[in-house]
Structure 1
Amino acid sequence: MRAKRTLVTGLLATAALAASVPAADATPPATSPAPAYRTNCPQLDTSLTWYGDNRAKLQKMIDERGSCSGTGGPRPVAAFDWDNTVVKNDITDATLAWALKHDKILRPKSWTDTSAWLTPAADRALTRACGTSVPVGRPLPTSRNAACADEIMEIRSTATTMSGEEAFAGDWNHRRTVPEYAWIPQLFAGHSPKALNSFARKARAENLAAPVGSTQTVGTHKLAGYIRYYDQQKDLIRTLKAAGFDVYIVSASSEPIAEAWSGGVGLDREHTIGIRNLTRHGKLTTGIRGCGDVADGRGDALPFMDGKRCMINQEIFKIKGANAWQRQDPAHRLAFGAGDADTDVTFVDDATGAHLAINRNKPELMCRGYDNADGRWLVNPMFIDPLPQKPGTYPCATTGAAAEDGSHVPVLRADGTAIPDQTDRVFGG
């Protein structure tokens, strides 16, 4: 059980949100003026480089919302996405690559058992590539069978087979889940959570030891071969904790994988939220825990886009049922949120003190970041190998946001007006 938090009571919002329209904010609680500099207040490391005046703005938010504010009350909450927000590169990709190179995927009875959305075309491709000679429940020899490793990697990265056929089909809410994200935890069915955590730890050691910029090959797929913690984010998390913030990781990685990494920034299992497989007799199954009023099952509610809000509301603020999907009053919202992709946009936008967007050219997040409707958005290039300026503009006014049915729609402000197209203004040299 995760530790319960003492919360300021307040009315819960009851109106459902449109796919890309945040509810209008209630007036935030009054805060004391930012305190004068005091040597005993937790300070961000001034030797670490941030873009522009982002460090000063973050420090101001920490001083206003943290223990130096003198306002008392419940601990403010901060939440970070993980991949490419706290670290450079992707821990799920790293763990899957390690598992394929070390024969850790167990053969399912049928590939269609791994996902309710897997297509017959994907089932045929995986069966053909991986074969049927290995007994069910035994490790597939993916370190030697490049075709099998390739099909798994291609479905993970593109949601298509190696021949280009769709790997997933059916109905799902595109702001709550994505089948290829759910599929990776489902592939590890039959292992214990402890075993999956150990795979992730071994992948972690390998990727931290590899030189920055290195790549690896799995099957014929080339992908990043290194991961690094961002020093700036480690320092920000340290400072937030020292200032009394309750800090969480909310990731679309499998929870045992995320737990293998979060200790590196001083966060424990209780403060690490990820995809949660159902277990049977101590082993992971293909079932995934739901959120709010979405039942456990095939993975209809992941910590993905609106699902990250639901997980934060449910697990941190203890809001149950359908209300967990709704934007809450300021007393039951994050003070700070950080992310790098559209998968993070909902919870980052929910923050009342500051929203940190790491620029990876993801349209909905960057549209909101550059529009800066509440004056609290901070955009920062990636701290390692930042992207150059995006050519053209972000299509905020037309197709910048994803709707629940998967179509692309305008990015709307709280008042219903569309955000104008935005030029990329904060980027690497």
Structure 2
Amino acid sequence: MRHLLAWTLVAAAAPAAAPPSSAATVPPANCPRLTTPWYGDNRARIQRTIDERGRCGAPAGTPVAVFDWDNTVTKNDVTDATLDWALEHDKLLRPARWKDTSAWLTDDADRALTEACGDAVPVGAPLPTSTTVRCTDEILAIREQGRTMRGAAAFAGSWNHRRTVPQYAWVPQLFAGRTVAELSSYARSARAEALAAPVGSTRVLGTHTLPAYVRYYAQQRDLIGTLQRAGFDVHIVSAGSEPVTEVWSRGVGVDAAHTLAIRSVLDGRGRITTRNEGCGDVPASRGEAIPYIDGKRCWINQEIYGVRGAAAWRRQDPAHRPALAAGDADTDVTFVGDATGVHLVVNRNKDELMRRAYDDADGRWLVNPMFIEPLPRRPDPYPCSTRAYTAPDGSRGPVLREDGSVVADQKDRVH
């Protein structure tokens, strides 16, 4: 989720092209209109879907739009920003055993965390991460790379790689013992700092250099507001912590009821535990099913469309799928592909998502460079024909179309 800042700030997107002429009826002048610049003709194509599916068209029901959050609506990761703030302010509580924080944490990771963070404070007391460089380093290394500072695997075992990733699930688990209100307050403090920090700025925690800033993308804020005015039901679905994402989503007019992310199970005193709520036919667990790849589809089907049980993992009929869906990473590929009107992709050079986007099988995929600090063109093609797809067992293979044909390797064309 997090990426290093290695590029200079570049002007965001080229002005949008005018909508193509057609025999279609021109929407009334008072229909909600996008106002910010987009790459190429993306704005015109998004606007056409808004006009056709929204209140100015003839919708059969309420159209739905769903956005990933981190690096789709904002530049940089808000759950990471909150974890960074918590580490700077000693807000993580010492667990009785580090292995209790994740079902997949290895003995090597347990030993590294125990040695680095020590036992000077009682179990359940705040860890002094602001002054204990080794402890902060181990937590960040495991969060970012899934490895200890010495390079040992931090997670091992069996999990469905299209339903969860242990290091994503681990962040909410690190806040075990805190209340939702406390975590929300940390997110608000982190948000204030991140919005005040200059674009491109970094900070050092432990020995890690990390992004110090977060920004709402003006184009996505405008798009969400325009969709809402046009009668769309707009939701956020994120693989971050739900209390954190809710703090940020309010800034674009999306309330908590429309914000889906990792929901921690609370104990009898209302405190966060290392378990999270389940989806479909997967019950509450220690991270087996989170809003990640196919998990995002499951949460959308369950929470927005009311689909229950195993069916929530399956693609629904067009009337029970979003009209517009937006994402930036492979974790978004399933739900973005489910959209019936626009599959909007912010290009962060992620193999499976960009393969789907550039193949553009249904002619509805739109690729936009990141609006702040866009990446340069990827020099080598995306390995679509060999290893861009992640299977449930974690193996890599070719990306297939619905008819079973293999997609050819794709060049990076929008940057």
TM-score grouping bracket, smaller chain normalisation:
over 0.9
Query: What is the TM-score of this pair, normalised by structure 2?
Result: 0.94
User: In the alignment, what sits opposite 1:399?
Assistant: 387
Q: In the aligned structure 2, how far is the partner of 1:101 from the partner of 1:91?
A: 15
For 1:368, which of 332, 353, 356 is the aligned residue?
Answer: 356
Shift of 1:295: 1.1
Letter in 1 for 2:89: H
**Counterpart check, 1:204 vs 2:191:** yes
Shift of 1:279: 0.1
Aligned pairs (5 A) from 1:330-369: 330-369=318-357
User: In the alignment, what sits opposite 1:181?
Assistant: 168
**Counterpart check, 1:318 vs 2:306:** yes
**Counterpart check, 1:94 vs 2:84:** no
Letter in 2 for 1:67: R
**Counterpart check, 1:37 vs 2:24:** no
Letter in 1 for 2:200: G
Shift of 1:122: 0.4
**Other structure's SS at 1:394 match:** coil
User: In the alignment, what sits opposite 1:64?
Assistant: 52
Aligned pairs (5 A) from 1:15-414: 34-45=24-35, 48-69=36-57, 71-280=58-267, 281-414=269-402
8 Å Cα contact 2:239/2:292 also seen in 1: yes
8 Å Cα contact 1:34/1:63 also seen in 2: no
Q: In the aligned structure 2, how far is the partner of 1:348 from the partner of 1:307?
A: 12
Q: In the aligned structure 1, how far is the partner of 2:59 from the partner of 2:273?
A: 44
User: In the alignment, what sits opposite 2:20?
Assistant: none
Q: In the aligned structure 1, how far is the partner of 2:387 from the partner of 2:307?
A: 32
Shift of 1:38: 1.6
Output one character per residue of 1:374-409: Cα deviation in whole Å (capped at 9) or x when no partner.
000000000000001101200111111100011111
Query: What is the TM-score of this pair, normalised by structure 1?
Result: 0.91
Q: In the aligned structure 2, how far is the partner of 1:287 from the partner of 1:90?
A: 22
Shift of 1:417: 0.6
List gaps (5 residues or longer) in structure 1: 1-32
8 Å Cα contact 2:53/2:59 also seen in 1: no
8 Å Cα contact 1:35/1:63 also seen in 2: no
How many residue pairs are counted as aligned between the two chains? 392
Shift of 1:92: 1.2
Shift of 1:133: 1.5
Q: In the aligned structure 2, how far is the partner of 1:205 from the partner of 1:411?
A: 41
Moved over 3 A (4+): none
8 Å Cα contact 1:173/1:404 also seen in 2: yes
Output one character per residue of 1:106-144: Cα deviation in whole Å (capped at 9) or x when no partner.
000000110010000000000000001210000000000
Q: In the aligned structure 1, how far is the partner of 2:366 from the partner of 2:119?
A: 52
Q: In the aligned structure 2, how far is the partner of 1:425 from the partner of 1:173?
A: 32
Q: Judging changes above 3 Å, is the alpha-carbon distance between structure 1 residues 41 and 147 closer, same or farther for their aligned structure 2 residues? A: same
Q: In the aligned structure 1, how far is the partner of 2:38 from the partner of 2:172?
A: 34
Output one character per residue of 1:307-335: Cα deviation in whole Å (capped at 9) or x when no partner.
00000000000000000000000011111
Q: In the aligned structure 2, how far is the partner of 1:35 from the partner of 1:192?
A: 53
List gaps (5 residues or longer) in structure 2: 1-22
Letter in 2 for 1:290: G
8 Å Cα contact 1:114/1:186 also seen in 2: yes
Letter in 1 for 2:296: K
8 Å Cα contact 2:347/2:414 also seen in 1: yes
**Other structure's SS at 2:272 match:** strand
Shift of 1:34: 4.8
Q: Which has the bigger relative contact order, CA under 8 A and spacing at least 6?
A: 1
Shift of 1:186: 0.3
User: In the alignment, what sits opposite 2:412?
Assistant: 424
**Other structure's SS at 1:343 match:** helix
Shift of 1:72: 3.6
**Other structure's SS at 2:56 match:** helix
The alignment-based identity, stated in percent, is 64
Q: In the aligned structure 2, how far is the partner of 1:133 from the partner of 1:297?
A: 31
Q: In the aligned structure 2, how far is the partner of 1:423 from the partner of 1:415?
A: 22
8 Å Cα contact 1:255/1:274 also seen in 2: yes
Q: In the aligned structure 2, how far is the partner of 1:266 from the partner of 1:34?
A: 31
